Structure 1
Amino acid sequence: MTHPDPTCAAPAAASASPSPPVPPPAPGAGPAGPATGHSPLQSIANPCDAIPPPPVERPTGSAQPAAPADTWITKEAGNRRLPFDRARLERSIDAIHAEFPHLDVADYKRSVFGFVERKAAVNADDLVDHLIREAEARVDLTAPEWEHFAARIYLHRLYKRASRNRFYDAAQKYGSYVGLQESLADRNIYSNDILHAYSKEELEQAGRMIDPGRDRLFTYNGLYLLATRYLATDNARNVYELPQERWLTIALYLMQNEGGTGQGGRERRMQLVGEAYWALSNLYMTVATPTLQNAGKVGGQLSSCFIDTVDDSLQGIYDSNTDIARVSKGGGGVGAYLGYVRAAGAPIRGVPNASGGVVPWIKQLNNTAVSVDQLGQRKGAVAVYLDIWHRDIEAFLDLRLNNGDQRLRAHDVFTAVCIPDLFMEAVERRGDWYLFDPYEVKRIKGWYLQDFYDEARGDGTFRRKYQEVVDDERIARKTVKAIDIFKRIMVSQLETGSPFMFYRDEVNRKNPNKHCGMVYSSNLCTEILQNQGPTRMIREVISGDQIVTTRQAGDFVVCNLSSINLGRAVVAAEGQGDLISDVLERLVPIQVRMLDNVIDLNELPVPQATITNRKYRAIGLGTFGWHHLLALKGVDWNSAEAEEFSDALYERINYLAVQASMELAKEKGTYPVFAGSDWHTGAYFRERGYNSPAWLDLAAQVAVNGLRNGWLLAVAPNMSTAQIAGSTASIDPIYSAFYYEEKKDYRRPVAAPGLSLETWPYYEKGAWKLDQFASVRQNARRQRHIDQSISFNFYVPSTIRASTLLDLHMTAWREGLKTTYYVRSNDIDIAECEWCSS
């Protein structure tokens, strides 16, 4: 039995007695395994599934009116009108209250009844909205469960609407999964892939995996986001797919090519489907938003992150713009490296001062970002990267400022600077810095400066090549003070949040595939670090009435993301009782397999991205919920314990990911350019100081068996999926433990995940009051275990001293961070900022 209908219209005929209760499961017969396993948070069954609402008591001999005679509930656009049944509404509230008995619902009922009974007529949907808003309004430190109370009401609405559209009894919550696949494939909403890959019997078996009880893990905020953005609907936005069906569809879609044609292979495939469903439905992990949005549906690609390298030619620039537009249309964020593009005043075809530099081309990309999005669902987003020695760097750093010549501004792209160690050393000693035109360097020296990096701290090829350029009097240069350039960086960061920082020497030193290329820049969110190269046109010929263009594909980076929910996966115990082990050993292998399968299933909008994707088979397994986990474990953010915990946890995740990719390589083969990589030679393990017996044994196995994936770990921002999973974003601290979010017609309270009197002390200091130097140290400890990078934000007051912000950046560089993301400034009293006022 489900919750009684909260729209509370009196039924056409009242039953004289309630339905019999559903008996509880026998002791020891609890569901287990990938199909039906429960987490500890689900140990209390939903009382509304087992206990019927109490019968309505009516006085003998006379009818009891349900509400004032002139109060009506209207449905179906006002075409249906029924008298309001107060007792039925109260039973509905009581049924949910039974799950949260410590909540005081007396005032809640008074508010809801007053809302209805003051009116002559109330629309049923408006009543449900009011029930949800009133529950949300009561969220506070002592009663955060009101957020789950609101989610139960919203769940019932989803169940009811799906059952009406799919013609099954709402009391079942979920209808036929096979019927859903067939129906939405007929409507051209689902693709036919799953129907073609699986038999009807297999889909029926998959449907039996669905556990509606796991819907109770959602908060209202997370459930609403999932339902309104990601669940499959028709063109009229009618509800068809429900949350557990989204998880199951993703699992089936990603596992469709697993196993084999034999019976054993099919059984193995269904086992993997069950494992993937277990991981997703328990909210132990989430997939990237394009995968969440598009898996199993018609159209759309599954990857989040792309990086293009723009060639220094008119054809290359416009081809890149087109490629970026195609990626943006598919919902991907793009990083664009413009370091090869000649500077303003450079010659074109021998004509001096002909080039307008990078700014006009960035403005073109700005227009592309604004004009091309994913059908209005996801805005286009582009980050542009430029080297700190490029002669256009000063104009580049001003691109997003609100003052100055607006013809030289591009407010809708994000800027990022590529910084060598040599520049940071010049800032430290307040020395000179030289700016060059990359085209002129190439013309005179025969090579590009950006094609080199320092192989060691304080020594390497880049600084020798840079000095060669400085010493060559044939090459024009502009001389500036390094600290003055850094001041311009910080001014822009405090005003706009960018530029992001990309420490190119550390990136390339730690690149496990340096045998195959260079990393010139990162992506939109600064966590992806993979080999890059421009795509160049070779020739264009006319063949009859066709034009045939031949291009040499460069490395167009694409990365496939998913994230571990640390707030559940690390503290959750598998099985029953007081087990203290977490689920990582079971979770990471299935997560790596799912990511690897994305590579083969993906339909990428740019052909060179497909080539690069299959060449390196890169994945980006990340995390979210770090602050949530610290609060649950009672670890202070600013403590040395947090740093030690960060080190140990991410080393373990890395070990499990390398092990899982190695096992996949034994099963399916290595990525094509594994030979000669740092994985293969063992340099990856030696450089990170992995000297324990377990690591040494794993390194030896990798050398023999290979790896399936050229890159493995990357920590993305993942704010939306963290919200769906009810946790904190990425490795970021929360903004505030408790605050009010302004909506158009009301304010809704927002509480930190797992907020309670016990966790409050660990959430009390919001992001801007936590020690940012402690955050840097935490990230330095975890960065050692992440072969790519971390979307790492600084949270600073807008009144921060320039010397303190500079010290933060210098500390991040010295500690070996590869990138930093936004500088998020906020107007808080400097007296409250203990870490930045000393």
Structure 2
Amino acid sequence: MTQTQTQADTEPVADRISDARPDARPDAAPVPARATAQAAPGPAAPDATDGDDAIPPPRTTDMPTATPTGQAVATWITKEAGNRRIPYDRARLERSIDRVRAEFPQLDVADYKRSVFGFVERKDAVNADDLVDHLIREAEARVDVTAPEWEQFAARLYLHRLYKRASRNRFYDTEQKYGSYVGLQESLADRNVYSNDILRAYSKEELQEAGRMIDPERDKLFAYNGLYLLATRYLATDTSREVYELPQERWLTIALYLMQEEKPRERRMQLVGEAYWALSNLYMTVATPTLQNAGKTGGQLSSCFIDTVDDSLQGIYDSNTDIARVSKGGGGVGAYMGYVRASGSAIRGVPNSSGGVVPWIKQLNNTAVSVDQLGQRKGAVAVYLDVWHRDIEAFLDLRLNNGDQRLRAHDVFTSVCIPDLFMEAVERRGDWYLFDPYEVKRIKGWYLQDFFDEKKGEGSFRQKYEEVVADERIARRTVKAIDLFKRIMVSQLETGNPFMFYRDEVNRKNPNKHAGMVYSSNLCTEILQNMSPTRLMQEIISGNQIVTTKKAGDFVVCNLSSINLGRAVVPPAGQGDLITDVLERLIPIQVRMLDNVIDLNALPVPQATITNQKYRAIGLGTFGWHHLLALKGIEWNAKAAEDYSDALYERINFLTVQASMALAKEKGAYSVFAGSDWHTGAYFRDRDYNSPQWLELAAQVAVNGVRNGWLMAIAPNMSTAQIAGSTASIDPIFSAFYYEEKKDYRRPVAAPGLSLETWPFYEKGAYKVDQFASVRQNARRQRHVDQSISFNFYVPSTIRASILLELHMTAWREGMKTTYYVRSNDIDIAECEWCSS
């Protein structure tokens, strides 16, 4: 997952985009994503009245009544909460604007200047922050297809502001842009903002060497929105939210932190340099918890977790506690509820005693609301249930707005675990049977969910299911499979949930099926790893202490980072076809960084640490797919997009497997490598990797192992993609160009890299591109991803049930493992070419 799934990732696309920035003063904390949109000029940019060529302002409030030229003062510029003021000088402000404009000579700033001058000169006094807010707002307002550079113009204004504030707080000359990195480490460690890890791990000389790696020119890669998000949510500040850390220092701190235990020491600084190169050039991003917490005090580095809830009072409440601890540390959670007995089941032999899964899910709902993620957003929990569970119908209604609200849980996200057999029953409009898992276990001695179909169309799950159906001792409820699927689709169109988890395909393609089973996914449906419940073994009293012993289950952790396809694959400007991309250099350092997260992580749940060390799973992903297609001149609906998806992700997968294998040679393979599909070669055979290159790599992996039990997963990446100035995940953009409504102004939003050349490839937004083409594209990609992909459907709310059903059936037939939201939008059905036939 996002990287951590943010609250914004759980909302409609239009809401996510319009709430991308806080609506407060420049250095205020972010507001919740669902807050009412307010005027949001964003953080103040450079103080346009403090240019170097200006006359130094007086330092007292006893101000002259005329400017140095003898003109009467019409307007004052106020600073420091009104305690300091200087006379407004139009020429000085114009010079400040011209300095920024010099980088963008193609922009016509005449009207911009008139607007800014008018804003100031109509007033007796203008606060300096309000002035620079207006400078930024006016720059943003001019963004369009022919002049997208206004977004960078606004970013330059903001950068200067950051530089100025940091230099003031850290006592160095603003013109240097960056001050002493060693001094920053020492200062923020003294303030308990940074941990002491970097100061302990590196000598002063090494930190000075690291400081020399900083390249302020790379700050110019940011667009305004991305820079704003980075600065207001992730850069290290003190308790008063004053600016200390600057963007390049965040990248360097992450690099130093993740490489601190690398050996030999002589090579360590080289690895720090490689990690800084990858991050500072925006070739990749780390997961949001890593971006937020690396090098700072408190917090963990991983995005998402998955728990398996045991069917016992102790297990249910222990899981609730563990989920609360994860949420407190900033993680999202997937919770598999399939073992919990159904409503009306027996408890200790007393029939009709169980309330089923709904009351326990409501408890998780309260936990998600009560235990927020580091005070920034409410907790996020997805609950998974098998489609044969007797409570599935009540489960599908959990998020609906109608019906008995006592049976609703609006703050969790629902997901359904679906076997091939159910989809076949939907196809033939057959019957489907619902069972109580506890009763199945009591009578048969095993759980249905512990089996899956080894091959499509045959296998052990269907045999076990039919055995349960044939056993008259086991109570069941009979429904039509198509009726159950209709309930799924109704809920999806109203709430976006449930997500879909195709359990047979997941487990068939699980490279570690020798060591366990995958029952569900995480909050964002991209993590697929072995799972099992943690169970209490005994509690004993020892003196005045209670000693509890538990058998640790597989509590899944996902460690994420993502390649920025819009920068890492397309050649840098001016280099033409000399290089095709930076992937061969990028992916080895990215895999190493992810692997180091595992050892450095301070996880809030002990069994998660055990699982993390056991499998050493990582999730290398991507974002910027639509951005890349536009830059390459490939239409979304074209077969060329499918072919390119296949070829590109095969290459990324090859380089990722190769990098993990190289790490295994250096540091050792993960502990249960022996017997895995990596070891036996089944991983490569199942994906038809038959080229000489792949066969050679498979042979090397069999000998050397891989460092990480799972390697790839593609998360939603909404926040980090915005920081890096690209499109989210593998999703199409919402719209090539639109206006975001604020309280008292409208700001244009343009797709990344939008120009007259890229416009035709962006013109069809998410709700107009062919969703069947998206499925085919994603199915080609899925072959090369050993875990899964956060894949959304974008459909009109008026879509015919038959079309939505066929979308789901196509996704299942094409071998997709999961699907994420069904995002519906009220658009004119006549505009929906792909769904109107």
Relative to the length of structure 2, the TM-score reads: 0.92
**CA shift digits 1:74-100 (9 cap, x unpaired):** 111111111112111111111111111
Match of 2:791 in 1: 792
Shift of 1:581: 2.1
Counterpart of 1:220 (choices 220, 224, 241) is 224
In structure 1, list runs of 5 or more residues that go unmatched.
16-61, 260-264
Task: Report the alpha carbon displacement of residue 68 of structure 1 after superposing the two structures with TM.
Answer: 5.5
> 1:401 corresponds to which residue?
400
Superposition map of 1:9-158 within 5 A: 14=55, 64=69, 69-158=73-162
Distance, in Å, in 2 between the alignment partners of 1:442 and 1:240 is: 59
Indicate conservation of the 8 Å contact 2:673/2:679, yes or no.
Answer: yes
Which residue in the other structure is 2:39 paired with?
Answer: none
Alignment partners' CA distance in 2, 1:480 and 1:577: 61
Could you tell me which amino acid in structure 2 is paired with residue 278 of structure 1?
W
Per-residue deviation, residues 533-580 of structure 1 (Å, max 9, x unmatched):
000000111111111111100000001000000000000349956513
Tell me, in whole angstroms, the C-alpha distance in 2 between the residues paired with 1:224 and 1:299.
24
For 1:578 and 1:11, locate their aligned partners in 2 and report how far apart those are by CA, in whole Å: 42
Deviates more, 1:818-827 or 1:88-97: 88-97
1:584 is matched with 583
- Contact 1:9 / 1:82 at 8 angstroms: preserved in 2? no
Any idea what SS the aligned residue of 1:227 has? Answer: helix
Identify if the C-alpha distance between structure 1 residues 427 and 5 changes in structure 2 by more than 3 Å, giving closer, same or farther: closer
Output aligned runs, 1:663-674, within 5 Å.
663-674=662-673
Whether 2:473 is the aligned partner of 1:474: answer yes
Q: 1:744 deviation in Å?
A: 3.5
Aligned to 1:190: 194
The counterpart of 2:172, out of the listed 168, 172, 183, is 168
Deviation at 1:11, TM superposition (A): 7.5
**More displaced, 93-102 or 240-249?**
93-102
- What is the deviation of 1:4? 11
The answer for the alignment partner of 2:371 in structure 1 is 372
Distance 1:68 1:643, change over 3 A: farther
- Report the equivalent of 2:283: 284
Shift in CA distance, 5/493, structure 1 to aligned 2, threshold 3 Å: closer
Q: Is the CA contact 2:48–2:96 (under 8 Å) kept in the aligned structure 1?
A: no
| Structure 1 Cα separation of the partners of residues 45 and 370 of structure 2 | 47
Partner of 2:731: 732
Matches of residues 795-814 of structure 1 in structure 2 within 5 Å?
795-814=794-813
Q: For residues 613-649 of structure 1, what are the alpha-carbon distances to aligned partners after superposition, in whole Å with 9 as ceiling and x for unaligned?
A: 0000000000000000000000000000000000000
1: CA distance, partners of 2:229 / 2:434: 47
**Aligned equivalents of 1:111, 1:374: Cα separation in 2:** 42
Q: Alpha-carbon deviation of 1:678?
A: 0.1
Whole-Å separation in 1 of the counterparts to 2:540 and 2:177: 60
- Which residue in 2 is equivalent to 1:782? 781
Deviation, 1:485, is 0.2
Alignment partner of 1:476: what SS? coil
Which residue matches 1:749?
748
**C-alpha contact 1:8 1:86 (8 A) present in aligned 2:** no
Inter-CA distance 5–404: structure 2 relative to 1 (3 Å threshold): closer
* Alignment RMSD: 1.4
Give the 3-state SS of the residue equivalent to 1:767 in structure 2.
Answer: coil
Q: How far 1:5 moved relative to its partner? A: 5.5
Equivalent-residue separation in structure 1 for 2:515 and 2:786 (angstroms): 16
2:467 is aligned with what amino acid? E
Q: Which residue of 2 aligns with 1:458?
A: 457
Distance 1:582 1:800 in 2: 40
Assess if the C-alpha contact under 8 Å between 1:68 and 1:117 holds in 2: no
**Residues of 1 paired with 2:46 and 2:769: CA distance?**
46
User: After the TM superposition, which residues 546-625 of structure 1 pair with which residues of structure 2 at under 5 Å, given as runs?
Assistant: 546-573=545-572, 578-625=577-624
* Distance of 2:362 and 2:505 partners within structure 1: 30
Residue by residue, what CA displacement relative to the aligned partner does 1:727-772 show, whole Å, maximum 9, x if unpaired? 0000000000011122333222110000000000000001000000
Q: How does 1:296-335 map to 2 (within 5 A)?
A: 296-335=295-334
Task: Tell me which residue corresponds to 2:435.
Answer: 436
Query: Could you state the TM-score of these two structures normalised by the residue count of structure 1?
Result: 0.92
Gap change, CA 1:310 and 1:68, over 3 Å in 2 = farther
SS of the equivalent of 1:297 reads coil
Which residue of structure 2 aligns with residue 681 of structure 1? Answer: 680
Q: Which has the higher contact order (CA 8 A, sep 6+)?
A: 2
Offset, 1:267 = 2.7
Using the alignment, how far apart are the partners of 1:761 and 1:12 within structure 2?
Answer: 45
Give the CA deviation at 1:107.
Answer: 0.3
> Matched residues in 1 for 2:577 and 2:803: separation?
46
CA contact (8 A) 2:301 2:597 kept: yes
- Gap runs ≥5 in structure 2: 1-43, 57-66
The 1:574/1:124 distance shift into structure 2, 3 A limit, reads closer
Tell me the equivalent position of 1:831.
830
**Cross-structure match for 1:258:** 262
Shift of 1:347: 0.5
Judge conservation of contact 2:45–2:136 (CA < 8 Å) in 1. no
Distance (whole Å) between structure 1 residues aligned to residue 69 and residue 567 of structure 2: 48
The residue that corresponds to 2:48 in the other structure is 7
Kept in 1: contact 2:45–2:157 (CA 8 A): no
Q: Which of 231, 236, 241 is residue 237 of structure 1 equivalent to?
A: 241
Counterpart residue type for residue 171 of structure 1: E
User: Contact conserved, 1:624 with 1:728, CA < 8 A, in 2?
Assistant: yes
- Residue 291 of structure 1, CA deviation: 0.1
Residue 821 in 1 paired to residue 820 in 2? yes
Correspondence 1:248 to 2:252: yes
SS in structure 2 at match of 1:489: helix
Cα deviation for residue 6 of structure 1 reads: 3.6
For 1:751 and 1:469, the matched residues in 2 are separated by: 56
The alpha carbon displacement at 1:12 in A equals: 10
Q: How far has the Cα of 1:381 moved from its partner? A: 0.2
2:340 corresponds to 1:341: yes
> How many matched pairs?
784
Give the Cα separation in 1 of the matches to 2:52 and 2:107: 29
Listed one character per residue, the Cα deviations across residues 233-253 of structure 1 (whole Å, up to 9, x for unaligned) are 001100000000000000000
Distance (whole Å) between structure 2 residues aligned to residue 228 and residue 639 of structure 1: 39
Change (3 A) 1:492 1:5: closer
C-alpha distance in 2, partners of 1:192/1:808? 52
> Which residue type is aligned with residue 440 of structure 2?
V
SS at structure 2 position matched to 1:835: coil
Residue pair 1:9, 1:85 contacting (<8 A) in 2 also: no
**8 Å contact kept, 1:573–1:583:** no
2:554 maps to a residue whose letter is D
Q: Distance in 1 between matches of 2:656 and 2:130?
A: 48
Matched AA of 1:687: D
Distance in 2, matches of 1:797 and 1:468, equals 41
In the TM superposition, residue 465 of structure 1 has moved relative to its aligned partner by 0.2
Letter in structure 2 aligned against 1:187:
R
Q: 1: distance between equivalents of 2:619 and 2:51?
A: 53
Q: Once the 2 structures are TM-superposed, how far is the Cα of residue 379 of structure 1 from its aligned partner?
A: 2.4
Q: Following the alignment from structure 1 to structure 2, what is the Cα–Cα distance between the partners of residues 291 and 68?
A: 54
Q: Secondary structure at the match of 1:750?
A: strand
Q: Please name the residue that 2:273 is paired with.
A: 274
Question: Once the two structures are superposed, what CA deviation does each residue of 1:425-471 show, in whole Å capped at 9, x if it has no partner?
Answer: 00000000000000000000000000000000100000000000000
Q: Percent identity?
A: 86
Tell me the secondary structure at the aligned position of residue 279 of structure 2. helix
Structure 2 CA distance for partners of 1:481 and 1:256, relative to 1, 3 Å: same
